[in-house]
Amino acid sequence: MPLSNHAPRAPYLLALDQGTTSSRAILFDRAGQVRGVAQQPFGQHFPRPGWVEHDAREIWRSQLAVARTVLREQGVSASDVTAIGIANQRETTVLWDRTTGEPLAPAIVWQDRRTAARCDALREAGHADAIQRKTGLVLDAYFSATKLEWLLDHVPGARSRADRGELAFGTVDSWLIWNLTAGRVHATDPGNASRTLLFNLQTQGWDEELLALFNIPESLLPGVRPSSGVLGTTEADLLGVALPIAGVAGDQQAATFGQACYRDGMAKNTYGTGCFMLMNTGARPVASQHRLLSTVGWTLGGQPPVYCLEGSVFMAGATVQWLRDGLQIIQTAAEVEALAALVPDSGDVWLVPAFAGLGAPHWDGHARAALLGMTRGTTRAHIARAALEAIALQSADVFNAMADDAGVPVCELRVDGGASANNLLMQMQADVLGVPVVRPQVTETTAQGAAYLAGLASGVWSDTEEIAALWQVDRVFEPAWSADQRQTRLARWAQAVSRTRGWALDAG
């Protein structure tokens, strides 16, 4: 329903939430509450096995369309919007012409694996340790540097044009900022920059040695600006008035900020297709001993950067989708909770969903999924329960590795994303972690984080303490297991995981 014409004027923040499969625009009010949402999917292109591409122009068109739609549908004039914040799919790589603004090729999406062999070659040449030391990242095709290098080498004329300063590179945040400002601003924030394999966490700038290693001219790169700070204004004809762009963060950093994880040791987990867990490690990047990623969380104005540890689980909601589409034991994803609740436990059935290998902290691309421990008494309810347990147990592996790396106690886990609505899964998560799992009232935390960053820079809120006071609990899931129960289950899970390791290496 549109807002009343008689509603008092209030500052609205417009969050542009540009995701992997859709573009969304969400209006937030001063209380951090959602006042309107518009969403539009866009095309996914898979030209070869392992390749994933987007049309960058379609990303821009869809993002502009939903921004206009949410304002129109809610009866809000752009003049009532204080500022714009951007949250974006990370690592996806766009290369475009500085004069025309046209992309030279499809955007290479973060999921794309075409440069895996290049990463293998760099690893074999001994570069992995130096890259991790400088960037906090593992050497992997997931990140932007080898994607950009590939574009320069494979798009006709791109490398010579880049050397002449005619081209621009950006992740999706930079691409949106460029288009919103009609090419006046070419910028990113440190959080997005730190996902490229080109950004030095210690110097907080682009690294000359890494640029040379990947053969990337520095003239291609955006300027690095604070995550919260006015970095430009939109063209007035796009939304009706010129609006400041005052916040920018990659989606997982934005969700962490939206979850008000502002102190060392605070952590959040987003349950989507996979799981992304981030822990605030404060003013220091933590060198992980468990192959987790160290990344910039955000920077506020002139303050030092806040760092995070990050670990990803490849198969979370996607595991439930497999139950639906692969095994066909449920018709909709929402059915899994009721089905799993039909049995008190999994009957010692274990599902290790390593369909695409194992993510953090194992990083085993040769692992494959396994369903273990079945007997004649095993039912689809046991398998459904094992699937939910697998999501919680994979997240527990990441959580425990983070706590060990950071050396600080983690008192709770804040949760968001679609599967956080599953009460049984959230209780399982609390049980295997041994700490409370806390679900907020507003689960649109990615867009909310972008809005908060923009609101801080534009005076809607004065500091993070004021924002933290807006964060409200929907439900707390307290752990019910004893320490012995938890350790027994985790040990059995580790045993199941070990059976899947390296499986594909033995394939004929």
Through-space distance between the first and last CA atoms of the chain, rounded to whole angstroms: 59
218 occurs within a structural domain: yes
Token pair belonging to 414: 């804040």
Token pair belonging to 377: 């008494």
158 occurs within a structural domain: yes
238 occurs within a structural domain: no
Rg, Å, the chain Cα set: 22
What is the span of the domain harbouring residue 132?
A: 91-170+194-223
Residue whose entry in the numeric block shows the structure tokens 């791109």: 158
The residues that bridge with 424 in the sheet, in sequence order, are none
Distance CA 498, CA 215 (A): 39
Q: What is the DSSP letter of 435?
A: S
pTM of the entire structure?
0.89
Non-local (6+) Cβ contacts of 181 within 8 A are 232, 233, 234, 235, 245
Q: Are 305 and 298 in contact (CB under 8 A)?
A: yes
Distance CA 425, CA 300 (A): 35
Q: Does an H or E element contain 464, and which?
A: helix 464-468
467 occurs within a structural domain: no
Distance CA 311, CA 281 (A): 13
460 occurs within a structural domain: no
Give, for all 508 residues of the chain, the pLDDT tens digit.
333 343 334 589 999 999 888 899 999 999 999 999 999 988 888 888 778 899 999 999 999 999 999 999 999 999 999 999 999 999 999 999 999 999 999 999 888 888 888 988 999 999 999 999 999 998 888 899 999 999 999 999 999 999 999 999 999 999 999 999 999 999 999 999 999 999 999 999 999 999 999 999 999 999 999 999 999 999 999 999 999 999 999 999 999 999 999 999 999 999 988 899 999 999 988 888 888 999 999 999 888 999 999 998 888 888 998 999 999 999 988 899 999 999 999 999 999 998 878 888 887 778 889 999 999 999 999 999 999 999 999 999 999 999 999 888 888 999 998 889 999 999 999 999 999 999 999 888 999 999 999 999 999 999 999 999 999 999 999 999 999 999 999 999 999 999 998 888 766 5
138 occurs within a structural domain: yes
In DSSP notation, 142-167 reads TSHHHHHHHHHHHSTTHHHHHHTT-E
Tell me the three state secondary structure of residue 35: strand
Distance CA 274, CA 256 (A): 16
Amino acid at the residue 88? N
Neighbours of 488 (CB within 10 A): 12
Distance CA 181, CA 243 (A): 10
CATH of the domain at 215: 3.30.420.40
- 72-109 CB burial, b ≥16 within 10 A, e <16: eebebebebbbbbbbbbbbbbbbbbeeeeeebbbbbbb
Q: Are 174 and 223 in contact (CB under 8 A)?
A: no
303 occurs within a structural domain: no
Distance CA 440, CA 284 (A): 27
132 occurs within a structural domain: yes
Beta strand 306-313 with 350-352 is: unpaired
In DSSP notation, 414-429 reads EEESGGGG-HHHHHHH
Q: Are 351 and 387 in contact (CB under 8 A)?
A: yes
Residue whose entry in the numeric block shows the structure tokens 């096995």: 49
Distance CA 320, CA 385 (A): 10
Distance CA 482, CA 283 (A): 35
Distance CA 49, CA 39 (A): 29
Residue whose entry in the numeric block shows the structure tokens 């534009």: 458
CA proximity to 112, closest of 128, 91, 94: 91
The tally of domains found in the chain comes to 1
